[in-house]
Structure 1
């Protein structure tokens, strides 16, 4: 009786990202897919495939796709808030700190324009609990910026005929809505647009 020789079965192992870097890869993949395809049109399976991780790894770090979206924004907001606090509590005349704070939020936004654009377009899809948590953190950032404006008003270097709250919302809203009309193939970069917004902001503060 002839026994057919059999070759050992070789199963190619699917490539996986190194242990410890899965979370970073998930966030990067999700950001790229959300920006290119939209949050609603992107599936969890597409995210894990692009990130080269298992679905279990994604759910280890994030309870859902909406939690992933929220985490991307909240981490950027926490970073932005820490930077603003360092500037607000730092040395120098208040008018210089105000200008530095405005330039810093522009620079940070330009560095993370994809993530922030995804958030601006998709935040309304979150459930009430997630939305309220991010609103609280966003209000804390606004309050910190507003207090710096008020310090300028108290020092006599910022106009007082407009409330600090209106000044703050005017600048941050203008910057936050830039994604609705900015075009990467236009004559200005996002950073240049932001710098022009800062010029208008600083110029409009003078008493």
Structure 2
């Protein structure tokens, strides 16, 4: 079994690479009818590939669900690492990271919505992997808060763990209310939430 990213692999019948087509089909079907009500046959039919192609690249429907979320988390982790390692004041680095996770979540809202609705249906090993990946992201984000608290830039009355939970609670809630045709753009929502976080951290 080989789990791969959406950009790898050959094309079957031309067009986009097979893994990318499988992920696109799975994401649409999971969003429309739910993970548990979507069959492997429906996914491969929508992607225009064979079952053998799906099992070659992903191994199972479980692997597809894991990859739907994993591709977003990898993107967010890479961007967070870049923000955290930038040569800028900690307040700016934290604000950039806090706004970016909002924007990238909104830009991948279907993926996020599918995952939080269906995460409990992952197998034990995949669930452990996801929790470890999320924990790494949260720990890197928390390290920025702790750096600011340690240097006196941020107030330390509220534990860093609670600060992180406060921000990510807002991020995870986006799937339940944000609409692309609503009054606020992704960037406007990101700016508001990042500003709220920094106001909460002022000494």
TM-score with structure 1 setting the length: 0.87
Provide the C-alpha distance between the structure 1 equivalents of 2:26 and 2:159, rounded to a whole number of angstroms.
Answer: 39
Q: Report the counterpart of residue 42 of structure 1 in structure 2.
A: 38
Residue 165 (structure 1) aligned with residue 197 (structure 2): no
Q: CA deviation at 1:182?
A: 3.2
Check the 8 A contact 1:30/1:47 in 2, yes or no.
yes
Residue 112 (structure 1) aligned with residue 108 (structure 2): yes
List structure 1 segments (4+ residues) > 6 angstroms apart after TM superposition: none
The Cα offsets for residues 63-103 of structure 1, whole Å up to 9 and x where unpaired, read as 11111100121222122111101110111100000101111
TM-score with structure 2 setting the length: 0.88
Residue 126 (structure 1) aligned with residue 138 (structure 2): no
Q: Report the counterpart of residue 98 of structure 1 in structure 2.
A: 94
Provide the C-alpha distance between the structure 2 equivalents of 1:189 and 1:36, rounded to a whole number of angstroms.
Answer: 24
Q: Give the CA RMSD over aligned residues.
A: 1.7
Q: Report the counterpart of residue 202 of structure 1 in structure 2.
A: 198
Query: Mind listing any 5+ residue stretches in structure 2 that lack a counterpart?
Result: 1-11
Count of residues in Structure 1 that have an aligned counterpart in Structure 2: 192
Q: Report the counterpart of residue 188 of structure 2 in structure 1.
A: 192
Provide the C-alpha distance between the structure 2 equivalents of 1:17 and 1:35, rounded to a whole number of angstroms.
Answer: 26
Query: Mind listing any 5+ residue stretches in structure 1 that lack a counterpart?
Result: 1-15
